[in-house]
Structure 1
Amino acid sequence: MSIPSFLGTMTSLTHLDLSYTQFMGKIPSQIGNLSNLVYLDLSYNYTDLKPPLFAENVEWVSSNQLEGNIPTSLGNLCNLRVIDLSYLKLNQQVNELLEILAPCISHGLTRLAVQSSRLSGNLTDHIGAFKNIVLLDFSNNSIGGALPRSFGKLSSLRYLDLSINKFSGNPFESLRSLSKLLSLHIDGNLFHGVVKEDDLANLTSLTEIHASGNNFTLTVGPNWIPNFQLTYLEVTSWQLGPSFPLWIQSQNQLQYVGLSNTGIFGSIPTQMWEALSQVLYLNLSRNHIHGEIGTTLKNPISIPTIDLSSNHLCGKLPYLSNGVLRLDLSSNSFSESMNDFLCNDQEQPTHLEFLNLASNNLSGEIPDCWMNWTSLVDVNLQSNHFVGNLPQSMGSLADLQSLQIRNNTLSGIFPSSLKKNNQLISLDLGENNLSGTIPTWVGENLLNVKILRLRSNRFGGHIPNEICQMSHLQVLDLAQNNLSGNIPSCFSNLIAMTVKNQSTDPRIYSEAHYSTSYSSTQSIVSVLLWLKGRGDEYRNFLGLVTSIDLSSNKLLGEIPRKITNLNGLNFLNLSHNQLIGPIPEGIGNMGSLQTIDFSRNQISGEIPPTISNLSFLSMLDVSYNHLKGKIPTGTQLQTFDASSFIGNNLCGPPLPINCSSNGKTHSYEGSDGHGVNWFFVSMTIGFIVGFWIVIAPLLICRSWRYAYFHFLDHVWFKLQSFRLGSITV
């Protein structure tokens, strides 16, 4: 529905708020007649089903007939104090907007928000006319260039948001005189340059700095104390090091500190821990901080959200207070056992919800003390040196949704302690030494699991049919085990793989209960998956992935025909097994398949012609089977490398073997194939036989051996005589 044009007749109107009303189409020109309008808000008229409001090449009519992209007649509304045109499709240069507003409106305007409205171009000196502006929001557009010097004239400005644009240059050269500025958002731009003490000296009211994702270097003296008191500091990717920025100790009202990837070396000083005791969020990840936390930390960590990942911290894990909600110490060098960290006497259960200790040097058995950590929803212990099995107390983690312990040295049977963790969404026990069978209760109890990864263990026996009850399962990775028997035909019941993923969010989350002002209740699940022939960490698109990998086992029998009902499956790998029989005819119905690997089996028959229907197929490998006949013609099949079809009795492109009229074909191994090359075999055998025909008699018969060496001496003497004779001549 469009905005009704009769609104233009309400000339006494002072406030017009049409935000969140889902109007669509052109903004009516009659709005330009509302000369008494003080407040205009057309923002958030945008849904997935309807196009947003737009003002592109529209004729606006007021007392005069004017033309322009945005309401040119808006410039006649001299009483306007608040304008919000956010989330529209303006498709306009920002300088054109300023030219419309500057002559009449700029002097009284206090708030201008044009967020996410497809503005482009560069800001011009017209911005200096808005001397009474208090809030200015141009975030999430495509505005570029340097900030004009006239920004310094905005003496009333308190809130400035230029985030997620293409601005460049050093903004502090233009903003340094804004003494009333409270909140500065310039993150996600192309700003660069050196920021000095003088650039910040007049920003005495500043409480928030959001400036990550730029290329700044802060150059201040070791004794510098800022003239402002911050509550929020986010300067990720600035260059602050190499020394730890001690000036932060003077900011005693800080609640959020983001210093990731800022070139900090050395250890965290004791006085820094004391100065940050009131902080709710601390991120020092991706720096070069080293040393043992225990030597500088006098009391248990009490910061609710703390990220010290990707540093060089070592020694024992630090103690926590029960107020910590998120702890990330991954990719460091912490060593020894988890026992002191996990089993220290706590008077009250902790509230920790997210624990990431991945990629350290922790060793020993995982302690049996998880009963005091019942709020945990996400535990990542992967890539350490843990041994033994999972302790029974892990079953007390009733809210556990993601458990990653891959790449350790765990042994024993499938952990029975997980039987009670029925809230699990992602379970990764890959790359360990677990053995025995996969228990049936996995499919009966863990019905919420979307990711089941048991890759590279020593599990044997049959794949339990109960796995087919896991209706949410999107990724099943049982590769590189000792599984035997048939592939369950009930895989067709894996509902999440039977239809295309229609989710609007491509991520998978673990959800917590508690939160603070700067702590989300969600954490994005990430998993290492071997797809398309390589291993990659899937995180932001994991929710869109559907995969079955049963490769490198001892599976028998035929590929179940019902597996072709999995129309939503993206990746299928059954290679390196002992499968027989034909490729199912209905494989062409699996329209979402991107990769298929049936190589190194004993599959026979012809490749079904329907396989050419798979328009998204980017990788196919059926090499080293007993397939025969002509390779089906299709848009993708002939573009694959010949190595995808070698080791069979196939013919036709991409193989260099023409299909004869009588239908007979010949096996083609290729230059890098693993088939037997009989030419080299026969040559090697001939050399060995000839060698022993000459040598064996010499070893057996002494007189022959004497005559043979006498003959060699005689030949050598003749050669020497010939050479001396030639020299004499």
Structure 2
Amino acid sequence: MRACYLPFLLLLGVLLSCNATKLGFSFDLRDSKVRCIEEEQQALLQFKQHLVDHFHWLSSWASDEDCCKWEGIKCNDRTGHVVMLDLRADWWYGEPATKFLEGEISSSLLGLQYLTYLDLSYNNFSGKPFPNFIGSLVMLQYLNLSTTYIAGAIPQQLGNLSKLISLDLSQNYDLTEAHNLDWLIHLSSLTYLDLSWVNLSQVVNWPNKVMMLHSLIHLSLRGCSHSTLTTPQLLSINASTSSQLLFLDLSYNYDLKEVHNLDWLIHLSSLTYLDMSRVNLSQVVNWPNKVMVLPSLIHLRLRGCSLSTTTPQLLSINASSSSQLLFLDLSNNYFTCSIFHWLFNSTTSLVDLRLGYINGLQCSIPDAFGSLNSLQTLNLIGNQLVSGIPRSFWNLCSLDSLYLSNNRLSGNLYEFMSNASGCLVGSLREFEIWNNRFTGPLPESIGNLSNLETLDVSNNSLTGVIYEAHISNLIKLKVLSLGLNSLILRFGYNWVPPFQLDVIYLSSCRLGSAFPKWLQSQKNYTVLDISDAGISNIIPAWFQDFPPKLFSLIMSNNQLHGNLPNFSSSKLDELAFIDLSTNLFDGSIPHFPSNVSSLDLSNNRFSGPISFLFELNTLMLLEYLNLSNNTLSGELPDCWTYIRDLVVLNLANNNFYGKIPNSMGSLVSIQLLHLSNNGLVGKIPTSLKKCSELITIYLEANNLSGTIPPWIGDSLPNLVILNLRSNQFYGSLPLSLCHLSHIQILDLSLNKIEGTIPECIYNLTAMFHTMDTVSSAIYTNNPGVSYEDYASLLWKGREFVFKNSLGLVKMIDLSNNKLHGEIPEGITNLTELIALNLSRNNLSGLITQKIGLLKNLQILDLSRNQLYGEIPMSISNLSFLSHLDLSANNLSGKIPTGTQIQSLDASIFLGNPKLCGSPLPNKCIDDLHPSYINTQGDKNQNVQENDDDGFITKGFYVAATVGFIGGFWGVCFMIVLNIRYIMKRLISNVQMMLQVVAALCMLTL
């Protein structure tokens, strides 16, 4: 790879040597006899007053000293005029800063009218407008304001700098071009132009504006938001205007799309470097012949261009057309394994080949790779390659870096390393095969790779023991990554490694019960991960003397015990990450360095208060704090104002008491707030409405009271999880909760909430859309640091924990409250619900017939309410239903039949005396009269026919039964009335007869 950039280094040297005299400054470091001009010295001192110098970089800038001897200043050795101001900051992404400036670029620099070289790159002038006065420094030939975070529009006054040779305004994302690049016309001497990541979206026909610069050699317009080009614009690039262009970078301009089939490239015959990564070239016909035939091209990067091709297209390129190519990156495209056939036939001079993350590479690695004798870097990471590593690789005498990670490679590494005796032994520097399927032990022959600096075999299925002999000869080793295998490291107690490691990744390896003493000799590591390593020891005193660049310390999931040492005096890198979770540490939590950004001490036995953590503002950079599952106690400190960048706060499952401090409202960046299972009291503070970034709120299992604040629905638009379970909240549900369009988990159970369920509940958008509005991982600003969130659902006292699938969980739990009224029919619009629990309330009315629309329900609990009527037949449509409870209501009728329902326990229907049918033991009426059911063929043909006509129904049987009973008792009643009438008449006749007999007797006397 180093050879790829040799032409550019030579070009840079030629440019500097040719222009040193013209620029008017000398690189001669000998003391000059000419002193600085007084007026210019004062101008520099005024410039310094507008700067913030954290690292005392400009300490040499004193009023009584010769400014020609100041840091970053060069003077003309004859006139004494300041010709060079070079204050380029010393930092890079991911690296700690050693010097940089803040503040603003003062117009006092106008006092330096002989200035030819101005470099303020990589300093932070955040949000300050472009310093327009620079256009008045007409002697400038070199101007670099890259990555200074200046904003606003590029001034047209830059066109006054007619002597400018090099202009770099790149990586100023808030800088825009509002004048159509018209000022470029006057920069006729410009050879180097870099406007990468400057917003040029308003520029029309930009090729004509930049390609008319006849001296231009280097052009970088990376990520400038260019619009799609038209044919005339591209064809305007002709040989006469662009014959000198050597370097062209148009990458990350997503809207460029087809770029007119790349035919315009034929005019760039001098081009040596071309990068069009992330430009959509999917419609370009026969792209290989468009880019690979450039006679001078040595560096080609077409990463992520949606390219695909066929074997004939590739084979149409012969060796002579691409023999100069040294660097080729075709990663993130859509190729088949035919790409390999072309490579071996036409690019034999390749030094650096990158074919990572290609969709379609589903084959083994060809042995023919051994024929690419010049290859120094081979990157095949992230494909679907199978089988093992070809032994022909041992013949690659120049191979420096081999990246085969994240594939499906398998086999035993002995098959590859048994003949570790070829050229590769002395050349290989980086060997990465992580996340594959290799098995067996790591061969001791790995120790023969004497120049090896990176050994990464993590996340495979390797087994066996690693002895000192495996790595004792690797004196240049910097990265040792063996984690996520089943390896045992068996080193002597007093063994001192011959190397100094930068990265130590041994997660899940067995290191023995004692703390690894060999780590005491390592003084340079930046990452140490010995999690889940079987260590059951105390942390030795020598361990707290960390290397100064340590930014990731992970020792979780061991059995480390005892008190933690005081780490406050330890020197850690900025934004350090410390994870000591899931151990047996006890005692109080010690002080930590002020530059810790992530601290995880969860699942230990720490006790006592935590107020000291915030003494002297020691944790101002903290973004992640997890102290959950300890025995910490006391009131929560009211000093959260000092850690305004906190993103994750988890204090769950401790013994904290008192009120939630008002100062928590200062956590304006917080996304996750987890205070559950403590003894907190009082109301939810109104100040939390300022925390508009909140995604999850867990306050369950406390003694919080008051009404549920209406501002939750209005001020927290991103809320996805709201868990207030098991508190003392009362009052009605605020209608504003219906505004939570992203809510997926709403748990207000085990409170004293009254009133009705709001009709507007159907507005909870995320519960009826198939979307994942929250990931289980919440990321901080520290690269690679994330919090894996989880949520629990209670069901009959059992806890269901969701973690990896948290984003798919959608539930409502309003159980164990005092809600009344009917269940709103709109709740059936929430078709993505997997759990609905409304049990133990005073809800009444019918279960809506639309309940079957909740097709994804797995849990439904409506028990212990006052619901009545029949169970809707549609409930049998809930095919995913595994937990159902309708007990203790006033439901009646027959239980609907369905595979899911009849397989459930009968207890889910108990407490409804009018219910009948399976799985209950009490039968329904139709079950008691089998004669009404056609089970005997022709004997019941008439009944079957009536059933088919819909006449003989359940209602018919009921009516017939009632009629029969009524008729029977009617007849009986009539009989009783008739008997009574007859008896009355009989008695009356008897009386008359007796009266006649008496009268006759009297007459006879």
- Which TM-score bucket, shorter chain as reference? 0.7 to 0.9
Residue 142, structure 1, aligned to residue 408, structure 2? yes
Residue 325, structure 1, aligned to residue 597, structure 2? yes
In structure 2, the residue matched to 1:727 is none
Amino acid aligned to 2:843: L
**Given that residues 301 and 324 in structure 1 are in contact (C-alpha distance below 8 angstroms), is that contact kept between their aligned partners in structure 2?**
no
Give the alignment's Cα RMSD to 1 decimal: 2.9
Shift of 1:655: 4.6
Match of 1:20 among 289, 297, 304: 304
Q: What SS class does the counterpart of residue 452 from structure 1 fall into? A: strand
Q: What SS class does the counterpart of residue 587 from structure 1 fall into? A: helix
Shift of 1:260: 0.8
**Given that residues 707 and 731 in structure 2 are in contact (C-alpha distance below 8 angstroms), is that contact kept between their aligned partners in structure 1?**
yes
> Cα distance 1:359–1:246, how it changes in 2: closer, same or farther (>3 A)?
same
Q: What SS class does the counterpart of residue 314 from structure 1 fall into? A: strand
Q: What SS class does the counterpart of residue 306 from structure 1 fall into? A: strand
In structure 1, the residue matched to 2:391 is 125
> Cα distance 1:32–1:619, how it changes in 2: closer, same or farther (>3 A)?
farther
Amino acid aligned to 2:398: N
Distance 1:309 1:414 in 2: 29
**Who wins on radius of gyration, i.e. which is larger?**
2
Residue 116, structure 1, aligned to residue 385, structure 2? no
Q: Answer 1 or 2: which has greater strand percent.
A: 1
> Cα distance 1:272–1:28, how it changes in 2: closer, same or farther (>3 A)?
farther
Q: What SS class does the counterpart of residue 145 from structure 1 fall into? A: strand
**Given that residues 315 and 335 in structure 1 are in contact (C-alpha distance below 8 angstroms), is that contact kept between their aligned partners in structure 2?**
yes
Shift of 1:257: 0.9
Q: What SS class does the counterpart of residue 216 from structure 1 fall into? A: strand
Q: Would you say how many aligned residue pairs link Structure 1 and Structure 2? A: 633
Match of 1:507 among 737, 762, 775: 775
Residue 42, structure 1, aligned to residue 330, structure 2? yes
Distance 1:118 1:180 in 2: 29
> Cα distance 1:530–1:53, how it changes in 2: closer, same or farther (>3 A)?
farther
Give the alignment of 1:302-317 within 5 angstroms: 302=572, 304-317=576-589
**Given that residues 442 and 466 in structure 2 are in contact (C-alpha distance below 8 angstroms), is that contact kept between their aligned partners in structure 1?**
no
Distance 1:471 1:283 in 2: 37
Amino acid aligned to 2:479: E
Give the alignment of 1:159-178 within 5 angstroms: 159-178=430-449
Q: What SS class does the counterpart of residue 588 from structure 1 fall into? A: helix
Give the alignment of 1:157-306 within 5 angstroms: 157-294=428-565, 297=567, 299=569, 302=572, 304-306=576-578
Segment drifting more, 406-415 vs 642-651: 642-651
**Given that residues 598 and 622 in structure 2 are in contact (C-alpha distance below 8 angstroms), is that contact kept between their aligned partners in structure 1?**
yes
Q: What SS class does the counterpart of residue 504 from structure 2 fall into? A: strand
Match of 2:606 among 334, 349, 352: 334
Residue 620, structure 1, aligned to residue 884, structure 2? yes
Q: Answer 1 or 2: which has greater helix percent.
A: 2
Match of 2:926 among 661, 668, 677: 661
Map Cα deviations across residues 330-376 of structure 1 (whole Å, 9 max, x no partner): 1111111122223x233x77111111110111112212222222222
Percent identity between the aligned chains? Answer: 39
Map Cα deviations across residues 221-259 of structure 1 (whole Å, 9 max, x no partner): 222221212111111111223222232232222111111
Distance 1:169 1:662 in 2: 65
Map Cα deviations across residues 541-595 of structure 1 (whole Å, 9 max, x no partner): 2222211011122221111111122223222111222211111222233333332
Shift of 1:454: 0.8
> Cα distance 1:6–1:93, how it changes in 2: closer, same or farther (>3 A)?
closer
Q: What SS class does the counterpart of residue 345 from structure 1 fall into? A: helix
Give the alignment of 1:332-481 within 5 angstroms: 332-342=604-614, 344-346=615-617, 350-481=620-751
Amino acid aligned to 2:853: N
Distance 1:654 1:548 in 2: 27
**Given that residues 772 and 807 in structure 2 are in contact (C-alpha distance below 8 angstroms), is that contact kept between their aligned partners in structure 1?**
no
Shift of 1:12: 8.0
Shift of 1:138: 1.7
**Given that residues 452 and 475 in structure 1 are in contact (C-alpha distance below 8 angstroms), is that contact kept between their aligned partners in structure 2?**
yes
Give the alignment of 1:649-728 within 5 angstroms: 649-655=914-920, 659-661=924-926
Distance 2:402 2:304 in 1: 21
Amino acid aligned to 1:379: L
Q: What SS class does the counterpart of residue 466 from structure 2 fall into? A: strand
**Given that residues 270 and 297 in structure 1 are in contact (C-alpha distance below 8 angstroms), is that contact kept between their aligned partners in structure 2?**
no
Distance 2:309 2:908 in 1: 53
Amino acid aligned to 2:698: D
Give the alignment of 1:89-108 within 5 angstroms: 89-90=359-360, 92-94=362-364, 97-102=365-370, 104-105=371-372, 107-108=373-374
Segment drifting more, 420-429 vs 527-536: 527-536
Segment drifting more, 250-259 vs 298-307: 298-307
In structure 1, the residue matched to 2:69 is none
**Given that residues 568 and 593 in structure 2 are in contact (C-alpha distance below 8 angstroms), is that contact kept between their aligned partners in structure 1?**
no
Q: What SS class does the counterpart of residue 119 from structure 1 fall into? A: coil
Q: What SS class does the counterpart of residue 88 from structure 1 fall into? A: coil
Residue 31, structure 1, aligned to residue 315, structure 2? yes
Match of 1:526 among 779, 787, 790: 790
Map Cα deviations across residues 460-512 of structure 1 (whole Å, 9 max, x no partner): 22222222222222111011222222112221122222322156xx6155454
In structure 2, the residue matched to 1:567 is 831
Distance 1:307 1:391 in 2: 26
Distance 2:905 2:319 in 1: 70
Give the alignment of 1:513-662 within 5 angstroms: 514-515=781-782, 519-520=784-785, 522-530=786-794, 534-634=798-898, 636-648=900-912, 649-655=914-920, 659-661=924-926
Map Cα deviations across residues 93-138 of structure 1 (whole Å, 9 max, x no partner): 52xx333333x33x33333222222122233533433333222222
Distance 2:923 2:336 in 1: 60
Unaligned runs of 5+ in 1: 46-51, 61-69, 666-729
> Cα distance 1:12–1:493, how it changes in 2: closer, same or farther (>3 A)?
closer
**Given that residues 288 and 313 in structure 2 are in contact (C-alpha distance below 8 angstroms), is that contact kept between their aligned partners in structure 1?**
no
**Given that residues 193 and 216 in structure 1 are in contact (C-alpha distance below 8 angstroms), is that contact kept between their aligned partners in structure 2?**
yes
**Given that residues 321 and 350 in structure 1 are in contact (C-alpha distance below 8 angstroms), is that contact kept between their aligned partners in structure 2?**
no
Shift of 1:428: 0.6
Map Cα deviations across residues 586-606 of structure 1 (whole Å, 9 max, x no partner): 223333333222122221122
**Given that residues 2 and 24 in structure 1 are in contact (C-alpha distance below 8 angstroms), is that contact kept between their aligned partners in structure 2?**
no
Amino acid aligned to 1:273: Q
**Given that residues 532 and 619 in structure 1 are in contact (C-alpha distance below 8 angstroms), is that contact kept between their aligned partners in structure 2?**
no
Shift of 1:658: 5.3
**Given that residues 387 and 410 in structure 1 are in contact (C-alpha distance below 8 angstroms), is that contact kept between their aligned partners in structure 2?**
yes
Shift of 1:89: 4.4
Distance 1:422 1:18 in 2: 41
Distance 1:168 1:185 in 2: 15
In structure 2, the residue matched to 1:494 is 764
**Given that residues 532 and 595 in structure 1 are in contact (C-alpha distance below 8 angstroms), is that contact kept between their aligned partners in structure 2?**
no
Q: What SS class does the counterpart of residue 209 from structure 1 fall into? A: strand
**Given that residues 300 and 318 in structure 1 are in contact (C-alpha distance below 8 angstroms), is that contact kept between their aligned partners in structure 2?**
no
Map Cα deviations across residues 311-338 of structure 1 (whole Å, 9 max, x no partner): 1112111113321101111111111112
Amino acid aligned to 1:199: H
Shift of 1:172: 4.2
**Given that residues 546 and 570 in structure 2 are in contact (C-alpha distance below 8 angstroms), is that contact kept between their aligned partners in structure 1?**
no
**Given that residues 390 and 417 in structure 1 are in contact (C-alpha distance below 8 angstroms), is that contact kept between their aligned partners in structure 2?**
no
> Cα distance 1:222–1:624, how it changes in 2: closer, same or farther (>3 A)?
same
Shift of 1:307: 0.8
Shift of 1:633: 4.3
Unaligned runs of 5+ in 2: 1-281, 931-1005
> Cα distance 1:5–1:393, how it changes in 2: closer, same or farther (>3 A)?
closer
